[in-house]
Amino acid sequence: MKRSLLAATLGALTLACGTPDPSKDDPGTIPFDPKRPTPGTTSEVTAYTGSDVDVLGAQLTYPTGIDLHRKLVMRTCSGTNGVCHNQKEYPDLHTPGAFVASIGAPCNVQSGTASGVFDRCERLGDRFRFTEPAFKGIEIGWFELVPGESPELDPRGTRPDASTVGLHLYLHDPVPVEGVRLNATGTFLRNFINDQGNVQELAFASYETRWWVLDDRRHLFAEVNENQRDTVESLVASGIVQGDQNRNGSYGARILGNTVPLIKPGKPEDSYLVARLRGYMGEQTVPGTRMPLANQPPNVQDMLALMCFIEGLDPAATQWSLGSAIDYNKCSYSANPSALSLAGSGDTWAARVLPILQSNCGGCHGGENPQGGLNLLGSSHDVYTRLVLKPSLQKPELNLIQPGSLDKSYLVLKLTGDGSIVGSRMPINPLNGNSPLPEAERQSIENWVLLSGAVEN
Ligand code: HEC
């Protein structure tokens, strides 16, 4: 009984993680009908007929989600070494089916490293309890199986610590049991939605051994003897959901309220995939290397297609098709596509932001003794590294540039003259005291910080 439950769980997890299925790589076996309505010919989607070259270009290159998968996702994910699907850190988006399956699917399910996990990908963890002495299940923050020879442990002498060989569980709350050592069966619990649509608690695995209650009673250590190794390995492989998968003490699903999926229908800004391309989501930096690692980064038109595709997915639907036309006409990002630049053109660091700073600010912020201790002259890279994620001198609690946040980027606040700044609004005009930057230039800096994640390109 226990085995079959475990097997069922394993099956479900494998699906969720999108293990690459080589048989689907062959375009001849793509499991749907690649219908491609040309924009304008379907009843709901009217073609964009405006004059923005990026919108027109995106519409031409990426009329449907299928094109988006074939020409953009495959390029950024598959690359020479299959960046996305060979590394656990990345979701497998190799087939159109896997791409569709990533809509609404959890992110960072099988991250290679704990630190690569984004808080907002953390789901509510599975729970743990002892069968006897019983207590209410406690959320699992994270676990670690420390490999090696099991040591001799002795209640009066050697006690386990965080590095002791065996299974370590770190829980959200202290376990309400007496003493430090007990022989007990630990049970792992998860909620399922049953056929009637009700939430049902299921014990999906259990482990009987000698347990130690350590530290603040939220750290449990389970002894693993030679003959228990297989049991523990299959327990670990069953994919216990960890509420604090990145081990930073914050439980993403609890603290931030909403866990984000890989692709959130209707909400590009809340889609991990987009955040991963940009390097940030909202005001948070997304850990890990920005995708794509090795391939040509997406340009404005690529990003526009992705954003409009996601925005056009119906959040109320349960199934989506890549075959529908992407609605560039209704898409909100069509209003200002150049702001979506991650590289190459539009509001980029090298082509736009740096020249604005150097010509408007360099006169005072340069040379031997730059005003305000801020030097905005020098090589592109030097200036960039002085600003991004570097604290301001006037308000050290804020960085000069905080990717993804205007309110937390002190340099931006100095340009708008926001009430909380120290000193004057910038740029100071030595003749009349103050004359703000032209609106278009300030907008470019803001786009670069907010929409392009202040990347150096
Ligand atoms: C005429 C000289 C002058 C010009 C031009 C000027 N600044 Fe300043 N800047 C100053 C002085 C003086 C200070 C320190 C006193 C203050 O903040 O009022 C300062 C301070 C700052 C600070 C605070 C530094 C920190 O680490 O907290 C920032 C940011 C800044 N300037 C950005 C800019 C930007 C961006 C521009 C161009 C758009 C610019 N400044 C143009 C003179 C200038």
User: Could you state, in order of their start, the residue ranges of all structural domains in the chain?
Assistant: 10-105+261-327, 125-237, 349-450
Residue 273 vs residue 188, higher pLDDT? 188
pTM of the model: 0.61
How many angstroms is it from 374 CA to the middle of ligand 1? 7
Whole-angstrom distance, CA of residue 330 vs CA of residue 308: 9
**Nearest alpha carbon, ligand 1 atom 20:** 372
Read off the pLDDT of residues 231-276 as tens digits, 9 standing for 90 and up. Answer: 999 998 888 999 999 999 999 998 766 789 999 999 999 999 888 8
| Structure-block tokens of residue 378 | 């020098």
Share of the chain above pLDDT 90, in %: 46
Tell me what the pLDDT averaged over the chain comes to: 82
What's the rounded mean pLDDT across residues 182-192? 93
User: How does strand 284-285 pair with strand 199-214?
Assistant: unpaired
| Structure-block tokens of residue 383 | 């200036």
Pocket of ligand 1 (CB under 6 A): 357, 360-361, 363-365, 371-374, 392-394, 400, 410-411, 414-415, 423-424, 426-428, 430, 437
Q: Are 340 and 300 in contact (CB under 8 A)?
A: yes
How many angstroms is it from 373 CA to the middle of ligand 1? 9
Cβ neighbours around 156 below 10 Å, total: 5
Position 137, amino acid: G
Task: Give the position, in ligand 1's atom list, of the atom nearest the Cα of 411.
Answer: 29
Instruction: For residue 190, give the H/E element and its range.
Output: strand 181-193
Helix count and strand count (H, E) for the chain: 14, 10
Read off the pLDDT of residues 69-109 as tens digits, 9 standing for 90 and up. Answer: 988 887 765 544 444 544 455 567 778 888 899 999 988 88
Range in 137-141, 257-261, 343-347 the model is least confident about: 343-347
Whole-angstrom distance, CA of residue 181 vs CA of residue 319: 50
